[in-house]
Amino acid sequence: MMSNASNIADLTWVEYRHRLAEDDAIVMIPVGALEQHGPHLPLSVDTLLTTEITNRAAARIGALVAPPVAYGCRSQPRSSGGNHFPGTTSLEAGTMTALIRDLINGLARHGVRQIAVINGHLENDAFLSEGIERAMVELHRDGLSDVKVLKMSYFETISPETIDTIWPDGFPGLALEHAAVMETSMMLHVAPGLVHMDRLPDEAPADIPPYDVYPPETGWVPPSGGMSPAHSATAQIGKTLIDEFVTLVAESVGGEFR
């Protein structure tokens, strides 16, 4: 019996070849990070949430999903707390660029013509673009000029209605949402057994200037690693956000490729 699984790692190569032969095959690649998310969330948050959103979106549009990239680019203090927290295990920009270039090249050379890179870690974004552009240059050079890649960071677009509902006192911005209400709520919806609300500290939000310094200033970041308090996180908020992001990803990828 042929497998209907959408995760390509679960298919035999014969099944995979068969699926690629179907019209309009799409392969989606979730990209996350292994990174501290405060004392209450696991290191896998960016990978776990991105993979879940990608899987749900893929199911809606009949796309295939590649195994996630579970490591991300160097965490910056202003947006994710920085690299000084044990467990935040980052890739250099060049490593990520080469990795995503290789994945695009490999998929395309076996016949994939529509690839969607779905990102869940802020610092990855520019280096994913760079890796995709390098793959496109190499594919064009080799005569494969009909490959199209979509890249999106799923968290970048939240509707004004959802922002007003979840943050009635004003949205603090994506950087301060690291390990805060947004990610904690989504984790409560998707993987509540991995969330430890009883370990949340009473801390003020991070107070960060509008620039970076090198070497990094670890004192800008609250000691727990969370950028702002997550006490008001709920599974219901998480469901609202996950549903919205799944729809956004499915409509973006489906709209571009279908």
Stretch that binds Mn ion, among 33-41, 130-138, 153-161, 208-216 (CB under 5 A): 33-41
> 114 forms bridges with which residues in the sheet?
148
Within 22-51, which residues bind Zn ion (CB under 5 A)?
45-46
Residue 85 token pair: 């927290």
Spatial CA neighbour of 6 closest among 30, 27, 21, 24: 27
Is residue 124 classed as helix, strand or coil in its secondary structure?
Answer: helix
For the bound state, the minimum distance from the C-beta of residue 37 to Zn ion, rounded and expressed in Å, comes to 6
Q: How far is the CB of 32 from Zn ion (least distance, A)?
A: 8
Q: Which helix (H) or strand (E) holds 90?
A: none
Tell which one of 46, 52, 177, 183 touches Mn ion (CB under 5 A): 46
Q: Which does 52 bind (CB under 5 to 8 A by kind): Mn ion, Zn ion, none?
A: none
- Phi/psi of residue 96, nearest 5 degrees: -65, -40
Q: Is 121 a catalytic residue?
A: yes
Residue 46 falls in the annotated catalytic set: yes
User: 224 — phi, psi (to 5°)?
Assistant: -75, -20
Examine the residue annotation and report whether 189 is marked as an active-site residue of this protein.
no
Nearer to Mn ion, 75 or 97 (CB): 75
Number of residues that bind Zn ion (CB under 5 A): 2
Instruction: Tell me whether residue 135 or residue 249 sits nearer to Zn ion (CB atom).
Output: 249
For residue 123, state whether it binds Zn ion (rule: CB under 5 A).
no
Residue 125 appears among annotated catalytic residues: no
**Phi, psi at residue 119, to the nearest 5°?**
-105, 140
Q: How far is the CB of 65 from Zn ion (least distance, A)?
A: 20
Mutual orientation of helices 45-61 and 181-190 as an angle, nearest 10°?
A: 60
How many CB atoms neighbour CB 6 within 10 A? Answer: 18
Q: Is 178 a catalytic residue?
A: yes
Identified binder of Mn ion from the candidate list 74, 78, 101, 121, rule CB under 5 A: 121
| Residue 151 partner contact from Mn ion, Zn ion, none using kind-dependent CB cut-offs of 5 to 8 Å | none
Q: How far apart are CA 245 and CA 57, in angstroms?
A: 9
